[in-house]
Homo-oligomer: A and B are copies of this chain.
Amino acid sequence: MQTTDYFTDEIKREYFELLKFETVGADPMKLRECVNCAMWIKKWLASMGFSGELMQAPGMLGTPPVLFAERKGAEGAPTVLFYGHYDVQPADPLEEWETPPFEPTLKNDGRVYCRGAQDDKGQWFAFLCGMRRFLATGTHAPTIKIVLEGQEESGSGALAALAPTIKEKLHADVMLVCDTGAAADLRPAIIAGLRGVSHFTVRLEAAAHDLHSGQFGGIAPNPAQGMAELLASLHNPDGSIAVKGFCDGIEPPTEEERAAAEAAALSEERYVEDMGCPPVGGEAGLTITERNSFRPTIEVNGIHTGYGGPGSKTVIPAGALAKLSMRLVPGQHPDRVMECVTRHLERHTPRGMKLFIEDLSGEAAGFRLPLASPVFRLAASVLEEMDSRGPVFQWDGASIPVVSALRVASGAAPLLVGWGQPQDRIHSPNESYGLDQFARAMEWGEKILAAL
């Protein structure tokens, strides 16, 4: 199949329109962009016979709306719930973008560069373009429910709160998600598990104002130094997590899961290529797959304290801020894990400083799905039709917290198949999505809906 058969001028125009909305859901200043984007999608889906509505979680006005759309299918046909998110990561650091982050650019390398080109606008848009092709054939269609939210990158607060209150709306047999990656060389991958996640902010405060590092050096507690010590205390020298109780109760993978995961693993060389550095993060002595798929992490996502400009500034900062996130695996309950981390941070707070733990958000447990389920078998046959190599099963190190909530509310069996590749650089400057990936996502959408 030729890419151009799929990526028509019309689709390109629609795709670029969608990408231009600066839907940074975490940034209150971008709320208007999010609302406009959701309305744009609602209109776009209406052209395919979908009834749609923008929903707010009770008491959560001023957050990006959740778009719910539905198209009744043939009598007795199954119900499919499709989930995606129209929000994107912040674009910073801006200076590292080769083209403006919200100006979609198709380069000669056959890739579209833009924040959200892949995660997740590109992936779900391509899938739904495939759905449009399928619906155009007029054949016996399932009932299709679509949920697109605007807070996935910042914890899915609104949808997580809404889901339990609209179980009937969400009820479905299968939940399709196109927000994950394929294996090496675009070999299809079925996600058999996801890690959970939890975000929080840590602040340290000491003096009431910045102090002169000569006048007060050796006298005043230094929160920049203190934050370094506090964060360093989270890990052991071998890279394992030093927080007491953090790893209690972790369910190890079965031999079948472990074997399937290793079979789908990228080579170390491939990671060096994709990351530009050796894959030596995490716990020493475990394989890359084990560390990423079956082990939890505590990552420091950012530290900001004191002076960072040109020259030097001999200051002892009054405070320090760090952004952290944890990836959790089955057997770890987010609340209990956070209690362990809180206790650890309190116990390790350097003398003379006050500790604040804030902005706890996006808490979700990790999960693993049974490999032998009927949905997985059906998906496998479709994917084998698309690619003779057939699918691999993966346990993605990333998280889609809301999938857990939707799973419970809808009663549907999750089927996560996406077409991301490491070179897409999601969450980084110069995010992009290849037209070959776009075409695969379309074909998948078209064929899986036909098969269901």
Contact = CB atoms under 8 A, between A and B. Distances in A.
Interface of A: 25-28, 89-90, 92-93, 96, 153-155, 181, 195, 197, 199, 201, 205-222, 224-225, 227-235, 271, 275-283, 288, 291-292, 295, 297, 299-317, 320-323, 325, 327, 351-353, 359, 361-362, 396-399, 422, 425-430
Contact of A213 (B277, B301, B316): B301
Q: Which of A195, A307, A310, A353 has the most CB of B within 10 A?
A: A307
Contacts of A233: 232
Given A227-B303, A312-B361, A220 B428 contact: no
Contact of A27 (B278, B311, B327): B311
B206 A428 contact: no
Contacts of A195: 214, 217
A427 B211 contact: yes
Given A227-B228, A277-B353, 19 more contacts: A26-B310, A28-B310, A181-B215, A197-B314, A213-B301, A213-B427, A215-B397, A217-B297, A219-B397, A220-B277, A225-B234, A227-B303, A229-B231, A229-B232, A231-B232, A277-B352, A278-B352, A280-B351, A303-B308
Contact of A313 (B26, B214, B305): B26
Q: Which of A211, A217, A227, A302 has the most CB of B within 10 A?
A: A217
B27 A309 contact: yes
A197 B214 contact: yes
Copies, count:
2
Nearest to A420: B215
B218 A277 contact: no
Nearest to A294: B218
Contacts of A155: 311-312
Given A279-B219, A300-B225, A313 B211 contact: no
A307 B302 contact: yes
A313 B216 contact: no
30 contacts: A89-B313, A96-B209, A197-B314, A206-B277, A209-B428, A212-B428, A213-B301, A213-B427, A214-B397, A216-B275, A216-B292, A217-B292, A217-B327, A218-B295, A219-B291, A219-B292, A219-B397, A220-B281, A221-B278, A224-B303, A225-B231, A227-B228, A228-B300, A278-B351, A279-B352, A299-B316, A301-B313, A302-B317, A303-B303, A313-B427
A399 B214 contact: yes
A390 to B, nearest CB: 23
A134 B123 CA distance: 80
Contact of A302 (B271, B279, B305, B399): B305
